[in-house]
Amino acid sequence: MSHYLEQINLLRSLQKVDDEIHHIRNELEAAPKEVEDLRTRFEDTVLYRERQQDKTTHLIDQEKRLSTEIDDDAARIKKSKGKLMSVENAREYHAAVREMDSLERVNRNREEERNALTDELERQSSALAEIEAEYVVLEKKLAEAEAGLQARIAEAQDKLNVLLLKRRQAGSQVPSPVFARYEFIRERLEHPVIVPVTDGVCSGCHIAIPPQNFIELQKASQILSCPNCQRLTFWSEHFPGEKSSG
């Protein structure tokens, strides 16, 4: 293997370690955020659940009030019918009939109102049952996520510590000027640093490199950067099977 290819191979090995480190650091960043997002969802559910409970309780109270009023109306209608049987003249009779008609009309309106209220209560109770089920699921998930967060972070940190040691070893194999160039790019660009060029296209930025640059890359005489994204590049055909960055 040529000196150039040896250097590229060392950089590829270093990049593979950095791929793992990148993944672990994403995990360390994502774990608390996932728990926080879950906590926010749970808190939103708690508020919605409370509002739904208040709404359902209000409807139940209204239904009880209407039922009481309907029962009272029924008692008054019965009393009015009793009056109708004991009237002594036409004037009293017509007055009793008007009173009974008025009471029955009010009673029918209340019955209609209660029926509509009952339908609405069924809908709201169904919605409350759904949110209660979601509340139970989220409460359990959040408790498990919070309980496992520290263990998850500790495990990721242990892996990261091992990888950082592995990285130091891999970096020490790369010639100092080349390693310094790699680090310079790593500190300024998004992961990854070194990427293959396949069919004349840089896999880092997915833009075709100029033909002359591609020709130089194929010569394998010096380490070149992509003119578009500035990442270090190598021709994928120099390493069969290498089509994209790790």
Task: Say how far apart CA 127 and CA 125 lie, in whole Å.
Answer: 5
Q: Look up residue 237 and give its DSSP letter.
A: G
pLDDT at residue 59, as a whole number: 93
**Which pLDDT tens digit goes with each residue over 169-184?**
999 999 999 999 999 9
pLDDT at residue 1, as a whole number: 61
Range with the lowest mean pLDDT among 9-18, 97-106, 120-129? 97-106
Could you give the 3-state DSSP secondary structure of residue 128?
Answer: helix
**Which pLDDT tens digit goes with each residue over 183-237?**
999 999 989 999 999 999 999 999 999 999 999 999 999 999 999 999 999 999 9
| Global pTM exceeds 0.75 | no
Could you give the 3-state DSSP secondary structure of residue 110?
Answer: helix
pLDDT at residue 246, as a whole number: 39
Q: Which two tokens stand for residue 6?
A: 């040896």
Task: Say how far apart CA 99 and CA 95 lie, in whole Å.
Answer: 6
Average pLDDT score over the chain? 91
In the chain, the amino acid numbered 70 is I
Phi, psi dihedral angles at 202 (to 5 degrees): -70, 130
Question: How many Cβ atoms are within 10 Å of 216's Cβ, its own excluded?
Answer: 15
Q: Which helix (DSSP H) or strand (DSSP E) does residue 60 occupy?
A: helix 3-86
pLDDT at residue 101, as a whole number: 85
In CATH terms, 22-172 corresponds, of 3.40.50.720, 1.10.274.10, 1.10.287.1490, 3.40.640.10, to 1.10.287.1490
CB 160 within 8 A of CB 28: yes
Q: Taking each helix axis from N to C terminus, what angle separates 90-172 and 3-86, rounded to the nearest 10 degrees?
A: 170
Q: Please check the confidence at residue 82 and state whether its pLDDT lies above 90.
A: no
Domain boundaries, the chain: 22-172, 176-238
Q: Please check the confidence at residue 245 and state whether its pLDDT lies above 80.
A: no
